[in-house]
Amino acid sequence: MAEILITGGAGSFGRTLATELRHQGHHLHIFDLPSCDFNYFNGWEETNIFKGDILKPGSIKDALKDVSVIFHLAAILPPVSEADQDRTFKVNVEGTQSLMTACGSLNNAPRLIFASSVSVYGDTSNEKEVIRPDHPVNPNSWYAESKVKAEEILTASDLPVSNLRISGVVIPAFLDPPEPWPFMSSQQIELLVLPDLITAMVNLVGAEDMSEQPLLIAGGPGWQVSGELYVTRWGEVMDIPVEDMDFMDQPGWLHWYDTSASQALLNYQNTSIDSFFKELEIAVSEALA
């Protein structure tokens, strides 16, 4: 079993990932800002909690002790990233550099697993083919640009790095629709459910990632639909006609992806789009009961 650090560990992916890694018997170091709610980890006796700021190398150093695997999730995400460019580049880029600097002082180099994003490809709406991992990056948001720069820092390091370019992640929960949905109605999109992402991450700990390329993480061919189809199905469950929902009027960054390499390595695409909508129906009827 491994000694694993999760930066941004009190965030939404971090908590779910920690739950699954702990279930598998790994020993965890959870690192996040002191302002975060750490109550989720109450009673996790064997888990070490570190309250700090990734921008302060001294603060992350303690959390790195004895660690052999790092999940680097700490980041500023949209919409905050687009409203505060300075903070986004500080946390997402300088924070990654600060982590690498702190890793440089360790005797045994840890393996680093980075949560990047398919946003790095920018607007791919004119592409006729599925997007492959080596598709050129062309960021068109502060968030995407900060992820590209963080990837460059990791690529230049001597550490073994797995770079996960993750698509949009959905959960079957009774929520208001986003305004607007982060894609056009005609756009090709391929989302994935949070449990499948977490399966990919957990399986990566035990897998040898020999790929020179980033690993594209998305739902798989069954999730390759149009924005309109996805939102129509979502609206049928929520009882909201698709005509009453807003789409972006310019393409967002989503597309269809070639996930054959990540699926072959990590075997994580377990949830079909039909079972997602069934789970959503159950979540909605429970919320309304």
Q: Of the two residues 70 and 244, which places its CB atom closer to ligand NAD in the complex?
A: 70
Residue 287 C-beta: closest distance to ligand NAD, Å: 21
Residue 289 C-beta: closest distance to ligand NAD, Å: 28
Binding site for ligand NAD (CB under 6 A): 7-8, 10-14, 32-33, 36, 53-55, 73-77, 91, 95, 115, 117, 166, 168-169
Which residue, 286, 261, 168, is CA-closest to 211? 261
Residue 12 C-beta: closest distance to ligand NAD, Å: 4
Pairing mode of beta strands 111-117, 69-72? parallel
Q: Which two tokens stand for residue 217?
A: 């993480």
Name the amino acid, one letter, at 164. L
> How many other CB atoms sit within 10 Å of the CB of residue 83?
11
Nearest position to ligand NAD, beta carbon:
11
Whole-number Cα distances in Å, 262 to 18, 205, 227, 269? 21, 13, 24, 10
Residue 288 C-beta: closest distance to ligand NAD, Å: 26
Which residue, 62, 73, 60, 18, is CA-closest to 40? 18
Q: Torsions phi, psi of 112, nearest 5?
A: -115, 130
Q: Of the two residues 22 and 286, which places its CB atom closer to ligand NAD in the complex?
A: 22
Q: Of the two residues 144 and 239, which places its CB atom closer to ligand NAD in the complex?
A: 144
Q: Which residues pair with 193 in a beta bridge?
A: 170
Residue 72 C-beta: closest distance to ligand NAD, Å: 7
Which residue, 220, 125, 207, is CA-closest to 167? 220
Q: Of the two residues 12 and 250, which places its CB atom closer to ligand NAD in the complex?
A: 12
Q: Of the two residues 2 and 55, which places its CB atom closer to ligand NAD in the complex?
A: 55
